[in-house]
Amino acid sequence: MRIHRWNGLLLTATVATLTVVSAAWAEEFKGKIKSIDRAKAQFVVHDEANEREVTVNLPTGASLKSNADKRLQLKDLHEGDHVVVSDSVIASKVTVDVADSSKPKKSMIQEFWYNFTHNLFKPLLLFFYLGFLVPILRVKLEFPYVVYQALVIYLLIAIGWKGGEELAALESNQFGAILTFMGVGFVTNFLIGILAYFMLSFMTTMRRIDKATVAGYYGSDSAGTFVTCLGVLATAHVAFDAYMPVMLAVMEIPGCLVALYLVSRLRATGMDPIGNMPDEPGYNPHAAPILAASIDNGHDGHDSHAEAQPTSNSETAEALEEARELSLEKREKPTHYAPRPAGIFSPKLLHEVFLNPGLYLLFGGIAIGYVSRMQGKEVTRGDDSFFVTLFQGILCLFLLEMGMTASRKLKDLTTAGPGYIAFGLLAPNLFATVGLIVSHAYSHFSGLHFEEGTYILFAVLCGAASYIAVPAVQRLAIPEASPTLPLAASLGLTFSYNVTVGIPVYMQLSLVIGDWIKGS
Asked if the model's pLDDT at residue 110 lies above 80, the reply is no
User: What are 268-302's pLDDT values in tens digits?
Assistant: 888 888 888 988 888 888 887 776 655 444 444 44
Within a domain: 433: yes
Q: According to the model, what pLDDT value does residue 320 have?
A: 58
Q: Which residues pair with 207 in a beta bridge?
A: none
Within a domain: 113: no
Alpha carbons 464 and 456: distance in angstroms, whole number: 12
Within a domain: 423: yes
My answer on whether 205 and 323 are in the same domain is yes
Instruction: Provide the 3-class DSSP secondary structure of residue 222.
Output: coil
Domain that holds residue 66: 27-104
- Domain termination site, one of 104, 138, 166: 104
My answer on whether 171 and 97 are in the same domain is no
Within a domain: 10: no
My answer on whether 246 and 298 are in the same domain is yes
Burial of 208 (0-12, 13-18, 19+ CB in 10 A): buried
User: What are 434-476's pLDDT values in tens digits?
Assistant: 999 999 999 988 888 888 999 999 999 999 998 878 887 887 7
My answer on whether 224 and 360 are in the same domain is yes
Q: According to the model, what pLDDT value does residue 302 have?
A: 40
Alpha carbons 367 and 350: distance in angstroms, whole number: 21
Within a domain: 347: yes
Q: In three state form, how does the secondary structure of 445-495 look? A: HHCCCCCHHHHHHHHHHHHCCCCCHHHHHHHHHCCCCCCCHHHHHHHHHHH
Domain of 56: which CATH number? 2.40.50.140
User: What are 391-404's pLDDT values in tens digits?
Assistant: 888 888 999 998 99
Write out the H or E segment, with its range, that includes residue 49: none
By the 8 A CB rule, do 477 and 447 touch? no
Q: According to the model, what pLDDT value does residue 316 have?
A: 61
My answer on whether 185 and 44 are in the same domain is no
Q: According to the model, what pLDDT value does residue 347 have?
A: 73
My answer on whether 55 and 132 are in the same domain is no
Within a domain: 17: no
Q: According to the model, what pLDDT value does residue 436 have?
A: 96
Q: According to the model, what pLDDT value does residue 460 have?
A: 96
What mean pLDDT is predicted for residues 210-239? Answer: 90
- Domain termination site, one of 78, 104, 130: 104
Asked if the model's pLDDT at residue 361 lies above 60, the reply is yes
Q: According to the model, what pLDDT value does residue 212 have?
A: 94
What's the angle, vertex CA 351, arms to CA 270 and CA 454, rounded to 5? 100
Alpha carbons 353 and 216: distance in angstroms, whole number: 12
Instruction: Provide the 3-class DSSP secondary structure of residue 223.
Output: helix
My answer on whether 501 and 444 are in the same domain is yes
By the 8 A CB rule, do 493 and 413 touch? yes
Asked if the model's pLDDT at residue 504 lies above 50, the reply is yes
My answer on whether 391 and 483 are in the same domain is yes
My answer on whether 359 and 454 are in the same domain is yes
Question: What total of structural domains would you count in the chain?
Answer: 2
What mean pLDDT is predicted for residues 353-367? Answer: 82
My answer on whether 234 and 319 are in the same domain is yes
Within a domain: 63: yes
Within a domain: 18: no
Alpha carbons 467 and 108: distance in angstroms, whole number: 33
- Cα–Cα distances in angstroms (integers) from residue 116 to residues 33, 94, 111, 122, 452, in the given order: 16, 31, 8, 10, 18
Give the helix ranges, DSSP H, for 137-252: 145-168, 175-203, 208-218, 223-235, 244-250
By the 8 A CB rule, do 348 and 300 touch? yes
- Cα four-point dihedral sign 300, 303, 307, 313: negative
- DSSP line for 29-46: EEEEEEEEETTTTEEEEE
Asked if the model's pLDDT at residue 101 lies above 50, the reply is no
Lowest mean pLDDT among 24-38, 192-206, 262-276, 364-378: 24-38
What mean pLDDT is predicted for residues 478-485? Answer: 85
Q: According to the model, what pLDDT value does residue 132 have?
A: 93
Asked if the model's pLDDT at residue 327 lies above 80, the reply is no
- In angstroms, the first-to-last Cα distance of the chain is 75
Percentage of residues in the chain having pLDDT higher than 70: 71
State the chain's mean pLDDT as an integer.
78
Instruction: Provide the 3-class DSSP secondary structure of residue 47.
Output: strand
Strand 292-295, strand 335-338: pairing: antiparallel
Lowest mean pLDDT among 29-38, 87-96, 190-199, 273-282: 87-96
Q: According to the model, what pLDDT value does residue 27 have?
A: 56
My answer on whether 200 and 240 are in the same domain is yes
Q: In three state form, how does the secondary structure of 327-377 look? A: CCCCCCCCEEEECCCCCCCCHHHHHHHHCCHHHHHHHHHHHHHHHHHHCCH
Cα 265 from chain centre: 31
State residue 84 phi and psi, 5-degree precision. -120, 120
Give residue 359's identity as a one-letter amino acid code: L
What mean pLDDT is predicted for residues 236-265? Answer: 88
Asked if the model's pLDDT at residue 71 lies above 80, the reply is no
What mean pLDDT is predicted for residues 196-210? Answer: 94
My answer on whether 92 and 194 are in the same domain is no
- Domain termination site, one of 104, 132, 166: 104
What mean pLDDT is predicted for residues 213-234? Answer: 91
